[in-house]
Structure 1
Amino acid sequence: MATLEELTRHIPSGPRVDPAAVARSVADSGRVLVVLDDDPTGTQSVADLPVLTGWSVEDLTWALHQGEPAVYVMTNSRSLDPADARRVNEEVAVAALEASEATGVPVAFVSRGDSTLRGHFPLEPNTLAHVAEQAGSPIDGIVLVPAFADAGRITVGGVHYAGSAADGFTPVGESEFAKDATFGYESSHLRDWVVEKSGGAIAGEDVVLIDLATLRSGEPGQEAARILTEVTGGQVVAPDIVDENDLLLLALALEQAERAGKRFVYRVGPPFGRARIGQSPRTPLSAEDVERISGAGERAPGGLIMVGSHVGLTTRQLDALRERRAPTEIEIDVAAVLDDRRQQHLADIVDEVVAGLGQGNVVVRTSRVLVRGDDADASLDIARQVSAAVVQVVREALARRAPRFVVAKGGITSSDVATLGLQIRRAFVRGPMLPGIVSLWEPVDGPALGIPYIVFAGNVGGDQSLADVVDTLSA
């Protein structure tokens, strides 16, 4: 465990960057970032951007016509096996390039991954790079930026950390996130992590590091840009990042390198997109903001909170919500979902949800004991069956009574609830519910039209964060 002061001692703070300077450069290029989000939590750092849960050429054409510098496409690829993840990334990239040609809007690809390094790497960025190359635009580098300062993920000296300024930082390979049943790992140094996740296909000496002192030295972005212009052949580039200004410095460096002819695919944590387009962090949405976003349709007095994440933080957040607001609680018994009791069990839960919404907020949670299979594939299959049960509950409850709001806790849970449960196809992310984390979507189509939808990652916030968000939504 190390303090931020210990990690950054003797490193200069660097020149300050106005996000508007980055925004102007991005606007001049006319380029739109197509962000392939491996679960919906990547939207928590941005505001007022289009979000798609499908990727037809028509959907992407609609998004590019919105005149915004980025569009988020929900792939839910973290819940897929490698073959399906590759297929989905190919489909999105091909459709985006077709929409780009039809609209005349140039695009670049961002592979938004987990800030604690879980997910399909290097498969996803490599797939996007391959599609770009097939289209005649070879990629010089894969820029790896998992940092997410708002959630306590920083990179210093090539080592990625999880923690907080108050409690200190631990190398992420020593955290609970590295023990993930499907995407576990051992390395904390990004160079070693790339070697580990690529199975040795990428050599450590081929990974380009940009240390914090270099990123912060000289004219804004200049030294980092010099390094980036030398990257070639799809090399992985891993910059140090500690705060928002570091991301803006990197954005300026990338702009300079791209103007010099370099092309990159990005594999990043949530706040990268915000800095890359020069969007200033939005203040958290208030109860009044939520009310303005809500539609005029008739809804139940209570909101629906779906909890699928199993990390320890989520359990503590659920305990705090229970203590503060005493919502109706209903448990999806994973054992029942996995055997012949499934349909009756879920029908009973839907009845309880509909009745509970008439009285107040309702929490539907999966069993807090994580059920794993004998290997990664078996664990993923169990997770899919449980997620399908969550979706069924949401969809059938929504058909009978529209909740005041819906919160989904957990990355894969939030994707499936949005796409399959609420049947959202197009939406706008309107901003965060807490500083830099937890996004609110405004659906613009489907049965959830007018119902605020809150995407809440399993691994962000403090113990009181879920209760704080529900307080705002219930005001």
Structure 2
Amino acid sequence: MSSNKRLVEEVFNKIPSVDTGFVNEMIEKELKNLNKKIIVLDDDPTGVQTVHGISVYTDWSLNSIEKGFQEDNSMFFILTNSRGFTAAETTKTHQDIAANIVEAAKRNHREFIIISRGDSTLRGHYPLETQVLKETVEASSTNRFDGEVILPFFKEGGRFTVDNIHYVQYDEYLVPAGETEFAKDRTFGYTKSHLGEWAEEKSNGEYKADNMTYISLDSLRSLDIETIEQQLLAVKDFNKVIVNAVDYIDVKIFTIALIRAMNKGKNFMFRSAAALTKVIGGVSDKKLLTREEMMSEDTSNGGLVIIGSHVKKTTEQFEELKKSDAVAFIKFNVHLVLEPEKFEKELDRVVEATNKLITEGRNVAVYTTRERLDLGEGKKEEELKLSVKISDAVTSIVKRLKVRPSYIIAKGGITSSDIGTNGLEVKRATVAGQIRPGIPVWTTDSESKFPGISYVIFPGNVGTKTDLREVVEMLSKQ
């Protein structure tokens, strides 16, 4: 752990409290003045981890985006899964999405806001995606973006921004994000924890930390909404707005000032975690889902858990799950991907065993080899291609199921995306709510492989050590 870590209690005790009732009344009033469709682009399916009753579309065709515009809800999500894309693929995808949004907005005579939502917000194709969205929207409409709001606060995932430094919570400590395992990501790594310096680093110095606009906790907690609004009105040239936040109340206060600035003609792009979407979408709090709410039909079949993520938290949760009597485990040796024939046979074995156990009423956890495939230096592209092959194989387990499980849990962002779109063939799902804080559940649409099934999207880096085991045991009670 880093020497710059801080005790959670010490940091939070210094932050003044605020009248939440007053703020809640204000934000409710202000949201009524926001007559824009909110479109959230999700780089993996965990972005719905704070909302309920909201649609998620798994493609970005003009038809799907138009359906989103025509819904009564002020907000809808599009699952891009772009964290699994190359830079070229994500550029093309975001050009297509932006062009279709502009066209759908024209046809429906609506203004819109685009939020680029990232799982670990500092990872992913940033600033590429928001830059492409900006350029495409501006080239095909009269819209102009004054700035970009960066707001990675996500309470349920232990992500907090204090004094412009973004922290990840580990037990009772806050660790600067640049010193965590997430910063060492082989594809999307970074070194800075100060968000202004991070944005400067990511933009290769195009935007300077010194010139950015910082929304401090002091001005948020003293309800200095006018000053924040003035700060936002002064932003130009797509400069960055860094928002500090340690609780939802900070996001609400910021959003009040933001809506006022937007209603005076300012236009922003957003790069955020899942907290902003809940607040700006006006999504109410909802109790955690119960087993009764999630079981759509009476079945004696077992459930299915697929574990793909390799982050430390997933491994800890997996170790805990192994202690459960409620589950039968199947190891999928994905390192055989280097020998195609053996890999095919291994996949057939896993599929056959999974089908058999589910039919017998057993809950099955399929897990991939826990060690990462490492081909050595300079083999990033080859590794990426192999990881896609592995991901396709894992997805095909669900595709080849002959029996309907009582529920499906996917552990890991990219794993859950591939299983949702390819394995379950979901075109549109409704977010039922959360089974644990930050762990969303989709109800699949009528066109999917198993209509109306509860699909639990369990992010790799979210939840307590025992959450996975407890969720499985709760859903497995007959």
TM normalised by structure 1 equals 0.94
The question of 1:347 aligning with 2:318 is answered no
Q: CA deviation at 1:207?
A: 2.4
2:315 aligned partner: 315
Counterpart of 1:151 in structure 2: which amino acid? G
1:116 and 1:62 map into 2 onto residues whose CA distance is 27
Matching residue of 1:331:
331
Cα distance, 1:19–1:345 mapped onto 2, change above 3 Å: farther
The answer for the alignment partner of 2:432 in structure 1 is 430
Residue 158 of structure 2 is matched in structure 1 by: 152
Task: Find 1:137's aligned residue among 137, 143, 157.
Answer: 143
Which residue does the alignment assign to 2:306? Answer: 306
CA, structure 1 residues 372+271, in 2 after alignment: closer, same or farther (shift >3 Å)? farther
Deviations along 1:64-115, one digit per CA (max 9) or x if unpaired, are: 2221111010000000011111111121122122222222332210000123
Aligned to 2:237: 233
Structure 1 residues 254-307: Cα deviation after superposition (integer angstroms, max 9, x where no partner): 11110111111110011210011222332210112113xx2x4x8562111111
The answer to whether the 8 A contact 1:225-1:257 is kept is: yes
1:263 paired residue number: 267
Paired with 1:60 and 1:24, the residues of 2 have a C-alpha distance of 28
Structure 1 SS opposite 2:123 = coil
Trace 1:181-330 onto structure 2 (pairs within 5 A): 181-219=186-224, 221-291=225-295, 294=296, 296=297, 301-330=301-330
- The aligned runs of 1:43-192 (5 Å cut-off) are 43-115=48-120, 117-134=122-139, 135-164=141-170, 166-192=171-197
Structure 1 residues 179 and 377: alpha-carbon distance in aligned structure 2, compared to 1, 3 A threshold:
same
Counterpart code for 1:348: R
Structure 1 residues 379 and 186: CA distance shift in structure 2, 3 A? farther
Cα distance in 2 for residues equivalent to 1:32 and 1:21: 20
C-alpha distance in structure 2 between counterparts of 1:346 and 1:20, whole Å: 55
Quick one: distance in 1 between partners of 2:138 and 2:299?
49
**Alignment check: 8 A CA contact 2:337 2:386 kept:** no
Shift of 1:3: 1.8
Provide the rounded CA distance (Å) in 2 between the counterparts of 1:284 and 1:338. 42
Q: What SS class does the counterpart of residue 414 from structure 1 fall into?
A: helix
Letter in 2 for 1:332: F
What secondary structure sits across from 2:435 in the alignment? strand
- 2:44 counterpart letter in structure 1: D
Q: Measure the CA separation in 2 of the matches of 1:370 and 1:202.
A: 35
- For the residues of structure 2 that align with 1:396 and 1:428, how far apart are their CA atoms? 24
Q: Cα–Cα, structure 1 residues 248 and 346, in superposed 2: closer, same or farther, change >3 Å?
A: same
1:447 counterpart (446, 449, 452): 449
- SS of match in other structure, 2:317: helix
Q: CA deviation at 1:8?
A: 4.2
Aligned partner of residue 245 in structure 2, secondary structure: coil
Letter of the 1:363 counterpart: A
Deviates more, 1:251-260 or 1:275-284: 275-284
SS across alignment from 2:410? strand
- The CA distance in 2 between the partners of 1:20 and 1:51, in whole Å, is 28
User: How do 1:8-47 and structure 2 match up within 5 A?
Assistant: 8=12, 10-16=14-20, 18-19=23-24, 21-47=26-52
Over 3 Å counting, the alpha-carbon distance change for 1:382 and 1:206 in structure 2 is farther
Matched, 1:412 2:418: no
**CA shift for structure 1 position 25:** 3.1
Identity, in percent, stands at 33
Q: Distance in 2 between matches of 1:45 and 1:474?
A: 24
Distance 2:357 2:196 in 1: 50
Partners of 2:305 and 2:409 within 8 A in 1: yes
Q: CA offset at residue 151 of structure 1?
A: 1.4
- State the distance in 1 between where 2:37 and 2:24 align: 17
Equivalent in 457, 471, 474 of residue 472 of structure 1: 474
AA at the equivalent of 1:126: Q
Query: What SS does the corresponding residue of 2:335 show, helix, strand or coil?
Result: helix
Q: Given that residues 8 and 172 in structure 2 are in contact (C-alpha distance below 8 angstroms), is that contact kept between their aligned partners in structure 1?
A: no
Distance 1:284 1:243, change over 3 A: same
Equivalent-residue separation in structure 1 for 2:300 and 2:190 (angstroms): 44
- Could you tell me how far 1:313 is from its partner in structure 2? 0.7
Measure the CA separation in 2 of the matches of 1:11 and 1:462.
Answer: 25
Secondary structure at 1:200 match in 2: coil
Cα distance in 1 for partners of 2:263, 2:274 equals 24
SS of aligned partner of 1:418: helix
Whichever residue aligns with residue 420 of structure 1, its letter is N
State the one-letter code of the partner of 1:354.
N
What residue ranges of structure 2 are gaps of 5+ in the alignment?
none
- Aligned counterparts of 1:27 and 1:72: Cα–Cα separation in 2: 20
Letter in 2 for 1:448: F
Change (3 A) 1:354 1:237: same
Distance 2:418 2:443 in 1: 16
Alpha carbons 2:121, 2:272 under 8 Å: kept: no
8 Å contact kept, 1:154–1:242: yes
Q: CA deviation at 1:6?
A: 2.7
Q: Which aligned runs of 4 or more in structure 1 are off by greater than 6 angstroms?
A: none
- What is the identity, as a one-letter code, of the residue corresponding to 2:6? A
**Which secondary structure state, in structure 1, belongs to the residue aligned with residue 462 of structure 2?**
coil
Contact 1:320 1:467 in 2 (8 A): yes
Work out the CA distance in 1 between the residues paired with 2:371 and 2:173.
28
Matched AA of 2:355: V
Q: Take 2:216 and 2:23, find their aligned partners in 1: how far apart are those partners?
A: 22
Letter in 2 for 1:109: I
User: Of the candidates 397, 400, 403, which is equivalent to residue 401 of structure 1?
Assistant: 403
Instruction: Name the counterpart of 1:377.
Output: 381
Cα shift readout 1:346-392 (whole Å, capped 9, x = no counterpart): 11111011011123111111111111343443433232121111111
Q: Distance in 1 between matches of 2:290 and 2:157?
A: 20
Give the direction of change, closer, same or farther, for the CA distance of 1:428–1:126 in structure 2 (3 Å limit): same
Contact 2:232 2:258 in 1 (8 A): yes
Equivalent residue, structure 1, for 2:368:
366
SS at match of 2:433: strand
